[in-house]
């Protein structure tokens, strides 16, 4: 049996006709730029996230960058975030001229350790940027309290958390703004690049709308130095066809996670821990083992494709050497990144495929005579 890491063709097949018909209609009308589909998607996805304003942008990286810029965060400012995330989180901060300050992650959830934020706040700190990694939200209430007490902005990185909930509130609705990615393999993915900004703040919405279109409110009149960061109309067509299915797809991912969880009990691998306040959307299903690289190779030989998200934490990437972090700066982050393995996860995964993945993990454990849990 073959179990790919993701299989996007399975999602595409039943939606193909509708997507192609929508694309044909847009092309026939040659309305390719901030047209009716982008406008409709902005309303529909904002409503899905439970926020007042939604703005389509070119990708997740620009969603975060534009939010920071709209909040006038830039050179001389510090933004507290995590090192255990995709590089784009830190890139967005650096692209504004501000400096990312990395806080440790929680050893159980692998998300921002909110108890460690306050010790990193300086007179330069302007914002906290929590990342709802793997589809589970950060413990937001204490984080929002800290932000309120210190007058800091909160920007949620929701690029892996479309539809995730914290105490009934959706990712992207809790901070001053949320940034989403519609990269093709996300829980809601375009057929190319795409991104989205959510906010309940009218002024932030007005500014990011201008920033995504060269800082312009009226054609050829530029009030801000902005970006070319528009969501294109053809991506919006596909995203609108997919959005009504997102809640069901997320529910399927949760069911798959539950099956993995049950089957992996009593094996020497740590399964994801979901906090009671959370309803995650399992963008990724990530286990932990000290034998990560060996297990990954073993599974690959047997047709099971896995990933590592992410093998090198940002603070140890060459690109940000100038920030001065060293191995040992963030011990929890460094340990976790050396042990994580993302198992196949997508809505259309079958029970048989999950069983096959776990069967092979069991065989690996037996052959290696691994016993004690971790
Ligand atoms: C956590 C996180 N932040 C930011 C991004 C950047 O999004 P994009 O690739 O759409 O720029 C991604 C996705 O790739 C991500 O997973």
Whether ligand 1 lies within 6 angstroms of the CB of 195 is answered as yes
Q: Is the dihedral of CA 30, 34, 35, 41 positive or negative?
A: positive
Query: Percent of the chain having pLDDT more than 90?
Result: 95
Beta-bridge mates of residue 14: none
Helix locations, the chain, DSSP H: 8-29, 36-49, 60-70, 87-95, 140-150, 202-211, 233-242, 246-264, 292-301, 331-339, 351-368
Predicted confidence (pLDDT) at residue 15 exceeds the cutoff of 50:
yes
Q: How far is CA 255 from the centre of its chain?
A: 20
Nearest CA to ligand 1 atom 12: 159
Beta-bridge mates of residue 153: 127
Domain match, 20 and 92 both: yes
Residue 2 located in a structural domain = no
Residue 237 located in a structural domain = yes
Predicted confidence (pLDDT) at residue 164 exceeds the cutoff of 70:
yes
Domain match, 211 and 350 both: no
Q: What per-residue confidence (pLDDT) applies to 368?
A: 85
The residue out of 197, 226, 244 marking a domain boundary is 244
Helix or strand or coil: residue 127? strand
Domain match, 205 and 287 both: no
Number of Cβ atoms within 10 Å of the Cβ of 29:
11
Give the model's confidence band at 33: pLDDT under 50 very low, under 70 low, under 90 confident, else very high: confident
- The residue whose CB lies within 8 Å of the most ligand 1 atoms, and thus the one to mutate among 159, 162, 185, 188, is 159
Domain match, 74 and 150 both: yes
Residue 183 located in a structural domain = yes
98 within 8 A of 320, measured Cβ to Cβ: no
Give the model's confidence band at 266: pLDDT under 50 very low, under 70 low, under 90 confident, else very high: confident
Q: What is the pLDDT of residues 51-65, one digit of tens each?
A: 999 999 999 999 999
Residue 195 located in a structural domain = yes
What DSSP state is assigned to residue 202?
H
Predicted confidence (pLDDT) at residue 152 exceeds the cutoff of 50:
yes
Predicted confidence (pLDDT) at residue 372 exceeds the cutoff of 70:
no
Look up residue 246 and give its two tokens.
Answer: 């997102």
Q: What per-residue confidence (pLDDT) applies to 370?
A: 73
Residue 373 located in a structural domain = no
Number of independent structural domains in the chain: 2
84 within 8 A of 100, measured Cβ to Cβ: no
* Residue 17 CB partners (closer than 8 Å, separation 6+): none
Question: Which CATH number belongs to the domain containing residue 61 in this structure?
Answer: 3.40.640.10
Q: What is the pLDDT of residues 83-132, one digit of tens each?
A: 999 999 999 999 999 999 999 999 999 999 999 999 999 999 999 999 99
Q: What per-residue confidence (pLDDT) applies to 371?
A: 61
Beta-bridge mates of residue 228: 213
202, burial (CB in 10 Å: exposed 0-12, middle 13-18, buried 19+): exposed
Full residue range of the structural domain in which residue 351 is found: 246-368
Predicted confidence (pLDDT) at residue 147 exceeds the cutoff of 80:
yes
Domain match, 234 and 260 both: no
Q: How far is CA 199 from the centre of its chain?
A: 17
Distance 91 CA to ligand 1 centre (A): 10
199 within 8 A of 68, measured Cβ to Cβ: no
Question: Which CATH number belongs to the domain containing residue 330 in this structure?
Answer: 3.90.1150.10
Q: What is the pLDDT of residues 293-318, one digit of tens each?
A: 999 999 999 999 999 999 999 999 99
The residue out of 186, 218, 244 marking a domain boundary is 244
Residue 374 located in a structural domain = no
Domain match, 206 and 275 both: no
Predicted confidence (pLDDT) at residue 369 exceeds the cutoff of 90:
no
Q: How far is CA 233 from the centre of its chain?
A: 22
131 within 8 A of 158, measured Cβ to Cβ: no
Residue 1 located in a structural domain = no
Distance 366 CA to ligand 1 centre (A): 37
75 within 8 A of 99, measured Cβ to Cβ: no
The residue out of 244, 276, 291 marking a domain boundary is 244
- Is-cis flag, bond preceding 2, omega within 30? no
Domain match, 17 and 146 both: yes
Domain match, 238 and 262 both: no
Q: What is the pLDDT of residues 66-97, one digit of tens each?
A: 999 999 999 999 999 999 999 999 999 999 99
Ligand 1 atom having least distance to the Cα of 182: 10
Mean pLDDT of 327-350: 98
Q: What average pLDDT is seen over the chain?
A: 97
Q: What per-residue confidence (pLDDT) applies to 374?
A: 45
Nearest to 342 by CA among 302, 303, 295: 295
313 within 8 A of 329, measured Cβ to Cβ: no
DSSP codes, 61-101: HHHHHHHHHHTT--TT-EEEEESSS-HHHHHHHHHTT-EEE
Domain match, 322 and 228 both: no
Q: What is the pTM of this model?
A: 0.97
Whether ligand 1 lies within 6 angstroms of the CB of 88 is answered as yes
- With tokens 């691998």, the residue in question is 269
C-alpha distances (whole Å) from 27 to each of 33, 35, 149, 228, 286 are 11, 12, 51, 21, 41
Domain match, 251 and 238 both: no
Q: Following CA atoms 299, 303, 307, 311 in sequence, which dihedral angle do they give, to the nearest 10 degrees?
A: 50
Look up residue 254 and give its two tokens.
Answer: 């949760």
Ligand 1 atom having least distance to the Cα of 195: 10
Domain match, 218 and 79 both: yes
Residue 219 located in a structural domain = yes
Number of Cβ atoms within 10 Å of the Cβ of 145:
11
Q: What is the pLDDT of residues 271-284, one digit of tens each?
A: 999 999 999 999 99
Whether ligand 1 lies within 6 angstroms of the CB of 346 is answered as no
d(C-alpha 92, C-alpha 18), whole Å:
35
Helix locations, 79-176, DSSP H: 87-95, 140-150
Domain match, 208 and 250 both: no
Whether ligand 1 lies within 6 angstroms of the CB of 183 is answered as yes
Give the model's confidence band at 243: pLDDT under 50 very low, under 70 low, under 90 confident, else very high: very high
């Amino acid at each position: 049996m073959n179990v790919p890491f993701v299989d996007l063709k399975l999602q595409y097949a039943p939606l193909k006709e509708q997507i192609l018909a929508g694309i044909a209609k847009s092309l026939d009308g040659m309305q390719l730029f901030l047209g009716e589909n982008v406008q409709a998607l902005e309303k529909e996805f904002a409503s899905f996230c439970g926020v007042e304003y939604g703005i389509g942008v070119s990708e997740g990286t620009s969603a975060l960058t534009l939010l920071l810029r709209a909040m006038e965060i830039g050179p001389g400012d510090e933004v507290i975030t995590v090192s255990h995330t995709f590089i784009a989180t830190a890139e967005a901060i650096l692209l504004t001229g501000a400096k990312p300050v990395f806080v440790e992650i929680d050893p159980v959830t692998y998300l921002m350790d909110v108890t460690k934020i306050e010790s990193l706040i300086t007179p330069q700190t302007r914002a906290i940027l929590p990342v709802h990694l793997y589809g589970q939200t950060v413990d937001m209430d204490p984080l929002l309290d800290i932000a309120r007490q210190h007058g800091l902005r909160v920007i949620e990185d929701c690029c892996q958390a479309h539809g995730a909930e914290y105490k009934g509130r959706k990712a992207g609705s809790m901070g001053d703004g949320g940034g989403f990615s519609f990269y093709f393999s996300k829980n809601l993915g375009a057929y190319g690049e795409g991104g989205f900004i959510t906010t309940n703040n009218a002024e932030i919405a007005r500014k990011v709308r201008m920033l995504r279109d060269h800082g312009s409110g009226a054609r050829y009149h530029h009030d801000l130095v902005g970006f070319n960061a528009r969501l294109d109309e053809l991506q919006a067509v596909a995203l609108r066809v997919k959005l009504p299915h997102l809640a069901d797809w997320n529910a399927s991912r949760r069911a798959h996670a539950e099956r993995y969880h049950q089957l992996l009990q009593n094996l020497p691998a740590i399964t994801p821990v979901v906090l009671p306040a959370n309803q995650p959307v399992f963008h990724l299903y990530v286990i932990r083992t000290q034998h990560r690289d060996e297990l990954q190779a073993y599974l690959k030989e047997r047709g099971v494709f896995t990933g590592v998200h992410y093998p090198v934490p940002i603070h140890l990437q060459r690109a940000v050497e100038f920030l001065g972090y060293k191995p040992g700066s963030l011990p929890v982050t460094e340990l976790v990144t050396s042990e994580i393995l993302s198992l196949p996860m997508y809505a259309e995964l079958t029970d048989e495929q999950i069983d096959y993945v776990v069967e092979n993990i069991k065989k690996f454990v037996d052959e290696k005579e691994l016993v004690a849990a971790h």
